[in-house]
Structure 1
Amino acid sequence: MKVIPVNYMLEFEPIFKNFTFNGKEIITVDCKESVNTITMHCAEIKIKSCSVIHNNVVQKAVTKTDEKKEELSIIIKNKIKGRAFIEIEFTGELNDRLLGFYRSQYKQNGKTKYLATTQFEAADARRAFPCWDEPESKATFEISIIAENKFTAISNMPIISKKRMKNKTLYKFAKTPIMSTYLIYLGVGEFEYLTGKSGKIQIRVITTKGNKSKGKYSLELGKKLLSSYEKYFGIKYPLPKLDLIAIPDFAAGAMENWGAITFRETILLYDPKTSSTRTKQYIAEVISHEIAHQWFGNLVTMKWWNDLWLNESFATFMATKFVDKFYPEWDLWNQFIEDAMNTAMGLDSLKNTHPIDVKVNSTSEIREIFDAISYDKGGCVLRMLENYVGESNFQKGLKQYLADFKYDNAEGKDLWDAIGKISKMPVRTMVSTWLKQPGFPVVEIEKKDLTLHLKQRRYLLESDKKHNKGLWSIPLSVGLNDELFQKLFTKKSMSVKLPKNNIGFVANYGRKGFYRVKYDASTLLDLKMLVDQKKIASIDRWAIQNDLFSLCISGDDTVRNYLDFSDAYYDEDSYLATVNVAHNLASLYFRAFGEDFAQEIKSYTVNYLKKILYDLGWTPKKTDKHTDAMMRGFVISTLGKLDDDEVILECKTRYRQFMKNQKTISPDLVEPICSVMAWIGTSKTHDELTRLYRNAKTMEEKLRFLGALCSFKDEKLLLKSLNFSQTSEVRSQNMQLPIMKVAANPYGKKILWPWLKKNWPKLSKKVGRGNPLFNRIVASISSIADDSMEKEIRQFFKKNPTPGTERTQEQTLERIRINSKFLKNMRKEFTS
């Protein structure tokens, strides 16, 4: 770069009367060569004046904005070199699209209120002020905000002075350390807060008025996490304060702005009386994720967005590690495998996946890679790597990397080299096979006497010759109750010997590796017996049927084989295997919904779920495990939708009590019971649930009733719910939820696509172009369409371009083909 920013002095004044803001900035720059044109990023901003000062000489500048490139060119007569200052005055819009500097609206005592907040990742700081808006262009920032007296202002650093100016106040904030633009934060609103301390660092939970009491849990957890991360990384938290801020309208879940982390209200506010178990866990995971970023991402930042995955998957991995330390009884690593590994493998077994380390050219492409590959697959690869090099080498390598690159930018290879150097292992070559190529392998095993013959190939749900290539460095681990041996499997095939007198084996022991295993028939039979007798660790009991289920969908095995194998899990006592078998059986039934053979699958599913419900009981008990609460809800709502008479009867009784007194049902069961009532319900039920939605006090409660409103069998009522979701009563940040829920409802299949087509222009307006939630909406189409609709869906998106979802569209069409083929295979299998 010819011109490098050194420091920004920024002043913002949001004006709520007409939702605009005024801004002023003085950027100190270093011109490495003689220039008379300076180009930086700028979008949706009007420049009022601009001048450049060099050696005390002021030059008025001519400015040109290029809307398409989102750039501002500053042109001056006389060339300059060395230190200079750019002064710009500008105005912008406080938009309602949840990006850049935007407004959020909420109700308080029936009155509509507004606040202004920012979301700059990946490339939206340029919508708030002209800047060099790329992670590598780090600078220091001195920020001031002018706000009406009823408001408070927040930024990354503490306030150093406040000055009254008639009905407004000028807040000045301390100068930031050197940092990237995407981590800057500005907030103006009627806030209240809880304050605590972790060492010398002030920690606050900031909310809109009336909500701070729900911030206690987050504040206590934030304090514990901050000091734990300081110890683990061996580097003190670099700022004097850390704010956790709850925002009513927020597109993402949370954002790691340095020293001022923003969250959706439902992910920060916890009320022991009304919040569910899942909410408490989710809050803990997200706070942990965002605090990990304060070092990994904020202190050391990736050079460019192709390494985004390193930021995100690292925070995902660390979040699980640290919450697991505080709450070992939550069984978090097992849940990580059920959620993150399943989600990542689901996406990564498509031809239209992408490598973890992906080329990113334009800013709209950045939005596309905030997906399960960047977060979840990356997290699984880090877990595999930590297991391969050992925990202590992994931590030492990380410490070294953070120490070497603090206040600077780094690339993925810098981290691999640090861990490789300490562990004296081929880390970079091993890891690169998982980062540079798309997909992951399946290891096929054939056992002859004591010799295992292994082959690896790329695992695809829809395979073809073109995409079948790939060779991985697989840390192959074999064991039963203990690890028998570990080898790096780097060729297409190899053979290994089992020790004598062994009674059986599991490959990918502890499911540490990101790959599936296909056993030969006789080994699978032996494993079924070992599962039944629980002679295998619970994580491996989960893995064997998890792989087998996936192999059914890819056509490598049969559904009947899976159903037979699932018998071994009838007395399963671990959450992980139980929940996965339950999900798999239910998903087989709903895939076969309306087919003649659905009944056969239904009886397996009902038997399995009834046994779980019998063991758990309906009423939460003091002795319940943390995961029991999540399991109970799933089982009740699924049995209701399998039309089980007993469950429906019990739901009716409990719903009647709930309508008289809402305290009679535990928060974990409200949505399951209301969903079952909708499933059997009429328009009267629809009115009741809508009323419950309107009267709900918290966003978390509202979302439960919104979810239940999508469970009707009656198509007219489902359309009514979809139309309701388009009104101002449902926030745009929650728009994807009703669509995903109706897509998952077998009675929503016929109506959702016509409704989406008709409402797409409205949806685009409400959700906002480039919003990451659009990917979820597009992905939901795979549940409702079959391969006969592929052409029509393609044409629709051609006519209605939705930038940032192109990859998701391809993945969705591929999933439609996979689902259609799977259903055809099932028909053949069950009618023969």
Structure 2
Amino acid sequence: GYPLLTVTEEQINKTRVIKIKQQRFIADGSADDENLQWKIPVTVFTKSNPKQIAQQILLETPETTITLDNISEDDWIKFNYNSIGLYRVKYESETLARLNEAISNKAIGPQDRLMIQNDVAALCNAGHQSFVDYLKLLPSYADEDNFTVWKSIASNIGDLTSLLQYTNYFGEFTKYRLNLFSSIQKKLGWDADQNENPLSAMLRPMILSIVGKSGDQNVIDEAKKRFERHIAGDLIDPNIRGAVYVIVARYGDESTQEALRKLYFAADMTEEKVRLLRSMGQSIEPKIIENTLKFVFEGDNVRMQDSISGLVGCTSSCDGRDLVWKFLQKNWKSLVERFGDKSNFLIAFVEYGLSDFADEKTASEIKSFFESMNTPLVARPVKKVLETIHMRSEVLKRDSKAIEEYLKKQ
């Protein structure tokens, strides 16, 4: 763990009185029995001068109070200038909401913009904050143009996506997700401009995949057109090829899968084969996911070292995760025999295949199954998976109702 600063504030005329309390941050939200304390260099800056530190202290005690003068009630404040310090910050909801302005007009740098949302997501997972705060924060990133910031948001939204798939309001969340990413997708388009920033080329496929999987019909139709032309010999730009494969695999039928398999067998480069493998199992049709697992693991279609890519693709949906879990139970002994009981691939199958469940019943099944299998190599990965599932289950228990209410008002 590392430090978490909890910030509470009070406005008295033109003075902001800020109380800072430190504690140990543990990602799964468990209590710190050791009550660890640090010496923490703390910096604060404000709306009135966002390029300069307003106050700097060394926090050596469990808590302290500082004051900022000549600051109006509506002015935002932010701790950890340029996010240099290794600590997370928990703001009150109102304090966090004020930062929307600093994020949307880019008054603060990309590192600070990244860490604000990343801290909130981590705090939500650990139970220190509600995911409603996170969902309220993200619209201020609609005009974000930094690859690293979007990559972090996409990762956090990906985790939330796999969690909220287990709710009956996932449709509302999908609309929210589409609204969030639509603006940047329209800016980036499909094709690279001349002299384009290389980071834009990296951002484009990530955004296209998210928007396509969120149901944007224009993006889906364009992906299908480009895929048809690709098969006919008008090749898709390799930078967006993976996104196109994922979108057409998701909404396609068995003939689409057959086309993907043909491309797989024709591909010379491992990178291209892996792209195709990752896409195949992302179908919304359970039968296609089953067939993908057979294709990946039966016979010698796929090299052993590439099989994890095929398996991971199959875990993008609830049905897919269930099928992967059933597959691992049915075939675990043969996988151990094939890959070897010291193979890191076994660890990958466990960690990547099973971490996205969100209910204690499945966790219990996983625990019982691997206890009976006696594969010492995966004991720690299984423990890690169980902890992750428990944490995700707790998030749903804590936040699901509030998230549902928030999304239904949008």
TM-score by length of 1: 0.45
Match of 2:174, SS state, is helix
Hey, what does 2:230 align to over in structure 1?
Answer: 658
Q: 1:464 to 1:547 in 2, by over 3 A?
A: closer
Distance in 2, Cα, partners of 1:468 & 1:818: 21
1:493 matches 2:60 = no
Hey, what does 1:696 align to over in structure 2?
Answer: 267
Distance in 2, Cα, partners of 1:735 & 1:762: 14
What are the Cα deviations for residues 57-114 of structure 1, in whole angstroms up to 9, with x where unaligned?
xxxxxxxxxxxxxxxxxxxxxxxxxxxxxxxxxxxxxxxxxxxxxxxxxxxxxxxxxx
Match of 1:773, SS state, is helix
Distance in 1, Cα, partners of 2:60 & 2:309: 43
Hey, what does 1:216 align to over in structure 2?
Answer: none
What are the Cα deviations for residues 302-347 of structure 1, in whole angstroms up to 9, with x where unaligned?
xxxxxxxxxxxxxxxxxxxxxxxxxxxxxxxxxxxxxxxxxxxxxx
What are the Cα deviations for residues 407-457 of structure 1, in whole angstroms up to 9, with x where unaligned?
xxxxxxxxxxxxxxxxxxxxxxxxxxxxxxxx2221111223344321111
Q: Is the 8 A contact 1:481 1:537 kept in 2?
A: no
Q: Is the 8 A contact 1:733 1:767 kept in 2?
A: no
1:771 matches 2:343 = yes
Hey, what does 1:520 align to over in structure 2?
Answer: 92
Hey, what does 2:408 align to over in structure 1?
Answer: none
Hey, what does 1:339 align to over in structure 2?
Answer: none
Match of 1:805, SS state, is helix
1:804 matches 2:353 = no
Hey, what does 2:53 align to over in structure 1?
Answer: 483
Greater Rg over alpha carbons, structure: 1
1:471 matches 2:44 = no
What are the Cα deviations for residues 639-658 of structure 1, in whole angstroms up to 9, with x where unaligned?
22222211111011100000
1:738 matches 2:310 = yes
Q: How many Å apart are 1:687 and its aligned residue?
A: 1.5
Aligned length: 393
1:748 matches 2:320 = yes
Which of residues 266, 277, 282 is equivalent to 1:706? 277
Match of 2:355, SS state, is helix
What are the Cα deviations for residues 732-790 of structure 1, in whole angstroms up to 9, with x where unaligned?
22232222222233330221111011111122223322233332222121113521122
Hey, what does 2:3 align to over in structure 1?
Answer: 441
Higher relative contact order (CA 8 A, sep 6+): 2
Q: 1:501 to 1:827 in 2, by over 3 A?
A: closer
Hey, what does 1:675 align to over in structure 2?
Answer: 246
Q: How many Å apart are 1:830 and its aligned residue?
A: 4.3
Q: How many Å apart are 1:486 and its aligned residue?
A: 4.3
Amino acid at match of 2:90: K
Hey, what does 1:194 align to over in structure 2?
Answer: none
Which structure features the higher share of helix residues?
A: 2
Distance in 2, Cα, partners of 1:475 & 1:776: 38
Q: 1:495 to 1:774 in 2, by over 3 A?
A: farther
Hey, what does 1:459 align to over in structure 2?
Answer: 25
Hey, what does 1:795 align to over in structure 2?
Answer: 368
Distance in 2, Cα, partners of 1:509 & 1:767: 48
Which of residues 55, 70, 82 is equivalent to 1:510? 82
Match of 2:20, SS state, is strand
Q: Is the 8 A contact 1:552 1:558 kept in 2?
A: yes
What are the Cα deviations for residues 364-409 of structure 1, in whole angstroms up to 9, with x where unaligned?
xxxxxxxxxxxxxxxxxxxxxxxxxxxxxxxxxxxxxxxxxxxxxx
Q: Is the 8 A contact 1:474 1:490 kept in 2?
A: yes
Q: Is the 8 A contact 1:442 1:457 kept in 2?
A: yes
Which consecutive unaligned segments of at least 5 residues does structure 2 have?
A: 406-410
Distance in 2, Cα, partners of 1:505 & 1:795: 49
After superposition, where does 1:251-330 map in structure 2 within 5 Å?
A: none
Q: 1:728 to 1:472 in 2, by over 3 A?
A: farther
816-825 vs 607-616, which moves further:
816-825
Q: Is the 8 A contact 2:93 2:133 kept in 1?
A: no
Match of 2:215, SS state, is coil
After superposition, where does 1:310-709 map in structure 2 within 5 Å?
A: 439-448=1-10, 449-465=15-31, 467=33, 469-479=35-45, 480-498=50-68, 500=70, 504-593=76-165, 595-661=167-233, 664-709=235-280
Q: Is the 8 A contact 2:145 2:184 kept in 1?
A: no
Match of 1:475, SS state, is strand
After superposition, where does 1:811-826 map in structure 2 within 5 Å?
A: 811-826=384-399
Q: CA RMSD in A?
A: 2.3
Distance in 1, Cα, partners of 2:368 & 2:201: 44
Q: 1:553 to 1:801 in 2, by over 3 A?
A: same
Which structure features the higher share of strand residues?
A: 1
Amino acid at match of 2:302: V
Distance in 2, Cα, partners of 1:605 & 1:470: 38
Amino acid at match of 2:225: T
Q: 1:589 to 1:465 in 2, by over 3 A?
A: closer
745-754 vs 483-492, which moves further:
483-492
Q: 1:809 to 1:649 in 2, by over 3 A?
A: same
